[in-house]
Structure 1
Amino acid sequence: MIRLTPPSPSLFRPRFPFKYSPFRRFSSLPSLRFPASAAPTMNWSTSVLTTASSDTEPTILITFDTAKYIFNAGENSNRAFLQSRNNWKRARGFFLTQTGTQRANGIPGLLMSLAESPINKLDIVGPPGLSHFIASMRMYTYRDTMPINTIETTWDMPSSSNPDAIYQDDNITVYSFPVLPALDNLSPLMDNSGPLPEPPTDTMTIDSNANSSLKRKRESTPILPQKRRLLDLGKRKVSESLHEAISDPEFVPEQLEGVLADEWRKFMIDTMFPRPKPEEHKNNSPQKKSRKGMRDSVIQKAPVASVSAPPADSPSKDGSAPPESIENINNDYRRSRPRVPFRFHLKLPKHTLTTAGTPSSPTAPTLAYIVVGPRVRGKFDVQKAEELGIYGKNRALLTRGQTVTFQVTIDGKKVERTVKPEEIIGKSEVPGVVIILDVPSPNHISSLQSSFEGSPFFRRFRSKEPEDLSEYAVRTIYHMCGKGVVDDPRYAEFMNGFGPHAHHIVSAREYLSNPITFTSSAFNQLRLNQLDPVIFPVPHYSLKALKDIASIPNLPPNTIPMISNQVIQMRPPAPPAMEPTAEENDRFHPVILSGVPLELSEGAQKRFKDAHKNVDAFISEGKLWESKGADVGILPLGTGSALPSKYRNVSSTLIQIPNWGNILLDAGEGTWGQLIRHFGEDDTSSPNVWKVLRDLKCIFISHMHGDHHMGLSQILAKRRQLDPPPTEPLYLVSLRGVHLYLREISEIQDLGLDDPSGNGVITIMSEALHWKKHSSYQTTGMWQVGGDEPWTEINRSRRLASGLCTTLGLESLDTVDVYHRARCYGCVIKHKDGWSLVFSGDTQPTDNLVWAGRNATVLIHEATMADDQEELARKKAHSTFGQAIGIGRKMRAENILLTHFSARYPKMPPSIITSPKEAKSSGRKEPIVALAFDHAALTIGSLWKLNYYLPALEQSFRDLAEEGDDEENEALELEGAAMDVDIA
């Protein structure tokens, strides 16, 4: 499929050189400078947004003044854009080399942000499974401002000597081909004598004699039969065949096969990303209203399960009514929700892998991309045109490459003259080419070599012949190499086959340093480390690679490691350089490289000293009280809401129970990277991230909003890679929508669900563990389960929960229905050692939590808004700081840890000061109130310290603000992109 858009002018905007930075000492690249004489038309570049590091995977950008193209989007891509201040708003397309967690887990977060930009359409190109991957997000991803078009390739090598482009617009032409592992590693489904079997295509229809079984048969002609004509269902189109299948009352999407299965997935994507017709916004004429109101019989309203008012028996044990605003909120939300297709909430048709390797594994097939830039025509010779008598229309025709014949008068006689374009127009510039290669293992090298050598077309890109070099200028090749690839002599030979002017940018973990990605957060942590090095440890990093890439023999001379914020100008050509704004924003590495301790302001030094004195005095006066579970660890990994920021990742909190194991409360995107930065990957030290992952016994996901679970699949994928495998299971407690999403993703990448060993991922339904111990699920209203699959059965979940409690030494783990804009559960964890922990999830203030978590040792409660934003909190079904503390007081909690702060407070949330008057009138001990910060290594016994550190923390952030960090304004601009929308 080719995308054509009208050309638009491109303006070159030069940047100014930035001062020298110590950061360049380990980047070994100069700061980027643009020549003042650069041509103002069709200048473009390629750059590295992120490379392989503890918390990122390689993401490559190709940038024109009017468009941006993104190649791969691993976790934290969204946050990396914020950190680098790179602009994503002109994005036109994503191109994925694989569809698993490693290369694509950042897609949903980026889509939510991009939808707030003025983007008319976004194309996503990728290998088989792409549409299944995108459609699996349907329960939590919806934006009606940006339609998505998926372009799914096959695993077949293009056989034509002039293959079609997989994508084309006015800037770039993109070709792709598969990079396959050696044949002995492929599935028995493959015929070793030929290419991978071709996936079903649109020339496949339903056999009219076997409708009940949806049997497939191929048409003998590529022309679509009349049976396949499209029906317009509102803004979504389906074929008559799919319409017929959907119309069956017994219709089950999972039974669809072939082209109908593909069409259903596309139908789901169209539902997730509909685009209103322009005329619908122009006026409200009856004609427009009637067109807007049209619906086909197969479309129904979204079930009200996640938006209706809470059932009468759910509010609280004392019979009090739910908050008055709940029903109004849900009524407003219901009106804003999309209408979804019949059976939208059932499992997608099964996606079958055609190879033995799943994404992110060494045996996975990948896609390679060849990106050809624009061919800029030569200069028009005006003087010669005048001499030949060429004017007006003929000049335009010659400019378009057409030969013109016209009459001129010479010595009074009319003479016919023919002029070819090359006679009047200078030689066109050779178009620049960028190549992106993903090579997971040495077993892929032979396939990669043969793809270039065996194709007359692709051979021209890996050539040193003058005629090929004059046709394409390959200037940048990105090599994403798995273990052992770049060391293989065959790969060096392959790299040397390209022209002498190509820059080889290599991502191979053993040859890369591991600097901090999110330097703003790390710089703040570096400051706070002087306040308390235990609570505020410096994130793990390394500025030196394990191996020097220069030690590999026979590599091309233009080979360098891939570094984040590395830029190569394609037109006008320039060697690799560092993006100067990235260096300007980085205050962490210069301090580290200088070897000089970080200097604090006089105000910060005083506040830090005062904090230390107050803590020491509190201890010496004997006020410290050792509560039960004092050594239980509480590690906030993400304390922001909706969107990540430079200082706060999205929701996740790790609970470490000594001698028992770990519990993870929510898992927003980037949780895995936060774990690595905190614990490190060195398996010779303890603790390390692999031990923490092995000791992870339970994950609780509160609800379907993406910022609470989009990092879950990455964690499960990493757990699957543990060697030796875990000897105990991981229990996942959540709603049906989360479990369904994981089961669909598992058809693309193995996540360990239903492992026959019994030590994989064991799913438990949140509804089965309800604190009121209902004997059965609710079947109507807000809290209905939404499905009846065998794995949702209530007694199964309760039986498995018993094993969970035994594993972690718990008396109980109960879920609590709370009030949010989607069905959401908090949880109450009670341990045999006498301590208890309550987690609120996202919620308005609710007495349910009070009754279920009475006398909690710790309450971890969302505090999204400040007290002066109570009305906004009500509309978004969140809590203010004061409301969260009020719930803790009513609960008689000993400690309250506030988290999930709005992007309005990217650094320091508003201070919380307990009122002495209120404490006195309450007649009871006031709880300790603390604010959560990413990477704060807390225990139940150390929460009290944060109260004494509060003035010092405020001063530290105040100093950052004075140094010119304007993230608060950036966060407010992005607030509309909040991920609090789902259609589950």
Structure 2
Amino acid sequence: MNWSSSVLCTLSSDTEPCILVTFDQAKYIFNVGANTNRAFLQSRNNWRRTKGIFLTQVRTQRSAGLPGLLMSFADADIPQLDIVGPPGTKHLMASMRTYVYRDKMPVIPTETPFHSEPSSSPQPVFMDQNLTVYSIPIHPSSSSFTVSEDSPSSSKRKREPSPDVSSKKIITDSGSLIARFPSDKSLEEILQSPEFLASPLSPSYLQGGHAQEWRDIMVDTMFPASKAEKEKRAKDMVRPKADGEAKGNRKKEKGKQKVVEERDSRNPDDYRRTRSPPGFHAQLPKYVHPDGNRTLDHAAAYIAVGPRIRGKFDAAKATELKIPNGKLRVKLTQGEPITFTVNESGTEIERTVRPEEIIGPSEVPGVLIIADVPTPDHIPSLTAAFSESSFYSKFRSTRPDDLQQYVVRVIYHLCGEGVLEDERYIEFMRGFGPQVNHVVASRDYCPNPVTFTSAAYHQLRLSKLDSDIFIVPQFSLTPKKDVHAISGLPPNVTLMEANTITNMRPPSAPTKQNFALELDRFHPAYAQGMELTPGMQECFEKAKAEVAAFIERSERPGMPGGDVRIVTLGTGSAVPSKYRNVSGTAIMIPGYGNVLLDCGEGTWGQLARHFGEDESSPDNVWRFLRDLRCLFVSHVHGDHHMGVAQLLAQRKKLDPPPSQPLYLVTIRAIHIYLRELSDIQDLGLFDNTENGVITVLSPALHWRGSDTYPESGMWQIGGTEPWLDINESKKHGRDLCRALGLKSFRTVDMRHRTRCYGAVIESDNGWSIAFSADTMPVDSLVYAGQGATVLIHEATMADDQEEMARKKAHSTLGQALTIGRRMNAKNILLTHFSARYPKIPHYQVKSADGQTARMGETIIGQADECAVAVAFDHARMSVDSLWKISFYLSALEQSYLDTVTEDAEEGGEENGEAPMEVNVV
């Protein structure tokens, strides 16, 4: 059984370290930061047959990619999944409940124990036929805490009742008594009692064991198949399987899966509205870490032990000893002695054979270690485990007896600032044997190459067409510091690079996987200078000439807001693709600040690649973040908001902090989700300063100007929390307008599968931008955005997919154009393209008289007509330059065609997309 560990992605502007452990029939993933899903698409690695995910922290840097990966796993029919992480993992997962729902895949979360003293006989946090995984808590040395075996984070946790509020009463936000919680009953039993069913629940008052049970219920609601899987595991622990039972169970499970697959697929939004348990939409109980702190600065190390491979069966000796074929030989391979009767010279004699007589020595299990050490203060807790625990010390020992039990092959060191050069950590690394390979991830010592090289290569080529619009992603192949300048490091130290593999059996040193070099055309092309083919050069020159000719003959006057910049960071729909990230659009208003419209997973990485992290540059990403005044999130679907927490976490780290607040305009469900995440990571939501994050409710800024929220139906606010006050949000809305020089910032109700708002931004200077978010064609946006300078509208599907667009509550490209024309928009920017069109919507335009032409010829022809642009990731356009895209379409299509051809030749993505026919009447 050969197996390996590899680096899917490393520390960079847009990724965090992610380690894969691969067996023939199973994979295990350690950490899933933002863009993990997209990193799989870029590489030839895949996540099929994944059985477990392990988190070293619950902070965004290690977990931001978890919800997107979970949804992808479920859609790809991963049969079941274990998720193991430090205390807070269940809280993290339960916070995703309003946008993650999959009914087929069981997901079993486990929180690692968090004891103050290293254990000499730890229990594995995960074990199957391939891996046995142990966890070591890593905490700062300044922490002082006591954790009992009955802690909620303990695997042998006893139930703790909620704290007394006069005889164990649970109180709603209004203060009324609704239930008594007897300590001898589980929360689930109480929730099903007639007493409780007559009253609503306020989960935020739950604590201890009942709070953890509530989180379990939320996870089971997100993944309904989980409950049956947990019950099955509990039974398996009580009794061993009888012969043949496992086979029978596989048949039974296969039949059960078939029934599940034959069911009509549910709309997750319908499910949440009709099947959610009481209290599902209320805020989770406050999370408190076992050490009593709410802000988690703790991590976990993992020791993953591979299988012990039995020695070779000596068939010749077995024949010599006359061991019968069949069950007796199988028993020997299973480590059992056997006794049988043989005929020796006509005499029946009884012979006993022990396994070691017939089977060679077994191979010592290979071991890999993932050590996540955020700060130098965390070093003592890690080193203490290996020095004070008789069990863990074996992994660092060079004694022959210990090396016969385990052999460590590779250690992945995830080092925060100041850790790698700390003498204590260097000594810790040197204590391992010479056979150990040390793979180091450290922001100061690792370079920052481009991660998504396929998209970057195409962007590099497009920069030859228009370098002002098509920006080459920022990167650096030179680290800030030289790792060789650190004295005393062990000899087998390598910097962590993406797509580096370390074979565990048979063992080998870390090496770059061949496909990574083959697929990376960006870095060589950038270094050597990109040469366009004659055909491409001609195509680009023709497009430039058309632009120049239009400028020369056009009398189109400059319009208000012409210097406002629009940066399309993510232009895909639902899931990221190789060439498009999910939703995110930045509006940069000179002299005032920035607005971000939606913020899908990986938006921070897109910003960092676009603007760069070089603090000496006047236009770096930190400046953009410091000047970010408004973050508008349209709705609860994950592709529009899963990047918000990471963005807020980065903003919280700014030093010095911003001088003005950030106004977060969105619906209640997303505000609650972020408030729940704030229990495990400070996102700046509760800063009592003038530069914190300000809560603004989208319905409070409704374009019709109502003074109250709707009281019923789909658009009701959904809660009674004090921060929902409509007047407070209206006041903050006025403050937001003053900060950005706006006449108004209004929200518009859209038609989607869930509560969704668009936005209309109107400046004091006479320009306006209308944003559709996700929607079917709606009149309300036409009325609210009438005469908009720019309409940014989704165009998820082609016109021949109108019925599918209706079912999924999206617009076709033709419908988006019709909305823009009815609105009398001066410019239309189309975005949010289906993953079916990962590169460019290759479309033909059919006019009313049946003539076919490309978009630019039909839309741009007269000076006073609307300009239509198609959005691409990392395009940076001023309002005055949007029209150029129409004339670049032929060149863009040819560039994408060449990219697809080159990808296919190198075993990459093939061109499977169809032309989009657009009916323009």
TM-score under structure 1 length normalisation:
0.84
Counterpart check, 1:53 vs 2:2: no
- Counterpart of 2:755? 823
- Counterpart of 1:374? 307
- Counterpart of 2:240? none
- Counterpart of 1:497? 431
Residues 476 and 502, structure 1, Cα contact 8 Å, conserved in 2: yes
Q: CA separation in 1, counterparts of 2:256 and 2:331?
A: 42
Match of 2:276 among 340, 350, 362: 340
The 5 A counterparts of 1:182-581 are 182-183=141-142, 186=143, 190=145, 199=153, 202-206=157-161, 212-213=168-169, 239-244=188-193, 246-247=196-197, 249-275=199-225, 334=270, 339-354=275-290, 364-391=297-324, 392-581=326-515
- Counterpart of 1:147? 106
Q: CA separation in 1, counterparts of 2:44 and 2:859?
A: 49
Give the drift of 1:282: 5.7
Deviates more, 1:928-937 or 1:117-126: 117-126
The CA deviation string for residues 887-939 of structure 1, in whole angstroms up to 9 with x for no partner, is: 00000000000000011111111336585979899999421000011001111
Task: Give the letter aligned to residue 213 of structure 1.
Answer: K
The CA deviation string for residues 627-651 of structure 1, in whole angstroms up to 9 with x for no partner, is: 1101101000000000001110000
Match of 1:170 among 124, 129, 132: 129
Q: CA separation in 2, counterparts of 1:968 and 1:444?
A: 43
Cα pair distance change 1:207/1:743, threshold 3 Å:
closer
Aligned pairs, number: 867
The CA deviation string for residues 805-824 of structure 1, in whole angstroms up to 9 with x for no partner, is: 11111100000011011111
Q: What secondary structure, in the 3-state scheme, does the structure 2 residue paired with 1:654 have?
A: strand
Q: CA separation in 2, counterparts of 1:699 and 1:709?
A: 10
The 5 A counterparts of 1:635-714 are 635-714=567-646
Cα pair distance change 1:226/1:676, threshold 3 Å:
closer
Residues 826 and 849, structure 1, Cα contact 8 Å, conserved in 2: yes
Q: What secondary structure, in the 3-state scheme, does the structure 1 residue paired with 2:391 have?
A: helix
Give the drift of 1:164: 1.2
Task: Give the letter aligned to residue 697 of structure 1.
Answer: R
The 5 A counterparts of 1:937-956 are 937-956=876-895
RMSD: 3.0
Q: What secondary structure, in the 3-state scheme, does the structure 2 residue paired with 1:733 have?
A: strand
Cα pair distance change 1:259/1:609, threshold 3 Å:
same
Give the drift of 1:875: 1.2
Q: What secondary structure, in the 3-state scheme, does the structure 2 residue paired with 1:750 have?
A: coil
Cα pair distance change 1:561/1:166, threshold 3 Å:
same
Q: CA separation in 1, counterparts of 2:599 and 2:691?
A: 20
Task: Give the letter aligned to residue 944 of structure 1.
Answer: W
Q: CA separation in 2, counterparts of 1:211 and 1:250?
A: 19
The CA deviation string for residues 413-447 of structure 1, in whole angstroms up to 9 with x for no partner, is: 44333322111100001111010000111111122
Q: What secondary structure, in the 3-state scheme, does the structure 1 residue paired with 2:680 have?
A: coil
Cα pair distance change 1:208/1:563, threshold 3 Å:
closer
Q: What secondary structure, in the 3-state scheme, does the structure 2 residue paired with 1:115 have?
A: helix
Cα pair distance change 1:916/1:248, threshold 3 Å:
closer
Cα pair distance change 1:917/1:373, threshold 3 Å:
same
Residues 837 and 913, structure 2, Cα contact 8 Å, conserved in 1: no
Residues 478 and 504, structure 1, Cα contact 8 Å, conserved in 2: yes
Give the drift of 1:89: 1.5
Q: CA separation in 1, counterparts of 2:76 and 2:153?
A: 34
Q: CA separation in 2, counterparts of 1:351 and 1:703?
A: 25
- Counterpart of 1:926? 865
Residues 73 and 103, structure 1, Cα contact 8 Å, conserved in 2: yes
The 5 A counterparts of 1:846-865 are 846-865=778-797
Residues 859 and 868, structure 2, Cα contact 8 Å, conserved in 1: no
Give the drift of 1:94: 0.6
- Counterpart of 2:176? none
Give the drift of 1:550: 2.0
Task: Give the letter aligned to residue 155 of structure 1.
Answer: F
Q: CA separation in 2, counterparts of 1:134 and 1:61?
A: 21
Q: CA separation in 2, counterparts of 1:924 and 1:892?
A: 15
Q: CA separation in 1, counterparts of 2:502 and 2:840?
A: 37
Q: CA separation in 1, counterparts of 2:42 and 2:753?
A: 30
Q: CA separation in 2, counterparts of 1:920 and 1:64?
A: 55
- Counterpart of 2:236? none
Deviates more, 1:923-932 or 1:387-396: 923-932
Q: CA separation in 1, counterparts of 2:652 and 2:536?
A: 45
Q: CA separation in 2, counterparts of 1:281 and 1:466?
A: 47
Identity %: 53
Residues 227 and 240, structure 1, Cα contact 8 Å, conserved in 2: no
The CA deviation string for residues 767-813 of structure 1, in whole angstroms up to 9 with x for no partner, is: 01110111211111121111111111111100111111111111000
The CA deviation string for residues 478-508 of structure 1, in whole angstroms up to 9 with x for no partner, is: 0000111111122111111111111100001
Cα pair distance change 1:473/1:873, threshold 3 Å:
same
- Counterpart of 1:126? 85
Give the drift of 1:673: 0.3
Deviates more, 1:605-614 or 1:627-636: 605-614
Deviates more, 1:791-800 or 1:242-251: 242-251
Cα pair distance change 1:646/1:617, threshold 3 Å:
same
Cα pair distance change 1:207/1:646, threshold 3 Å:
closer
Q: CA separation in 2, counterparts of 1:468 and 1:449?
A: 18
Task: Give the letter aligned to residue 283 of structure 2.
Answer: K
Q: CA separation in 2, counterparts of 1:332 and 1:85?
A: 31
Residues 113 and 153, structure 2, Cα contact 8 Å, conserved in 1: yes
Q: CA separation in 2, counterparts of 1:590 and 1:450?
A: 45
Q: CA separation in 2, counterparts of 1:332 and 1:62?
A: 32
Task: Give the letter aligned to residue 420 of structure 1.
Answer: R
- Counterpart of 1:87? 46
Cα pair distance change 1:452/1:157, threshold 3 Å:
farther
- Counterpart of 1:7? none
TM-score under structure 2 length normalisation:
0.89
Residues 228 and 240, structure 1, Cα contact 8 Å, conserved in 2: no
Q: CA separation in 2, counterparts of 1:491 and 1:49?
A: 25
Cα pair distance change 1:691/1:172, threshold 3 Å:
same
Q: CA separation in 1, counterparts of 2:902 and 2:66?
A: 33
Q: CA separation in 1, counterparts of 2:911 and 2:203?
A: 42
The CA deviation string for residues 255-314 of structure 1, in whole angstroms up to 9 with x for no partner, is: 2121111111111111111129897996999xx99xx99xxxxxxxxxxxxxxxxxxxxx
Q: CA separation in 2, counterparts of 1:952 and 1:587?
A: 20
Q: CA separation in 2, counterparts of 1:722 and 1:583?
A: 36
Deviates more, 1:782-791 or 1:522-531: 782-791
Give the drift of 1:198: 6.7
- Gaps of at least 5 residues in structure 2 are 172-180, 229-250, 851-857, 915-921
- Gaps of at least 5 residues in structure 1 are 1-41, 216-224, 231-237, 294-328, 974-984
The CA deviation string for residues 927-978 of structure 1, in whole angstroms up to 9 with x for no partner, is: 10000110011110110111111111111111112224487769889xxxxx
Residues 162 and 168, structure 2, Cα contact 8 Å, conserved in 1: no
Residues 817 and 825, structure 1, Cα contact 8 Å, conserved in 2: yes
Q: CA separation in 2, counterparts of 1:212 and 1:967?
A: 61
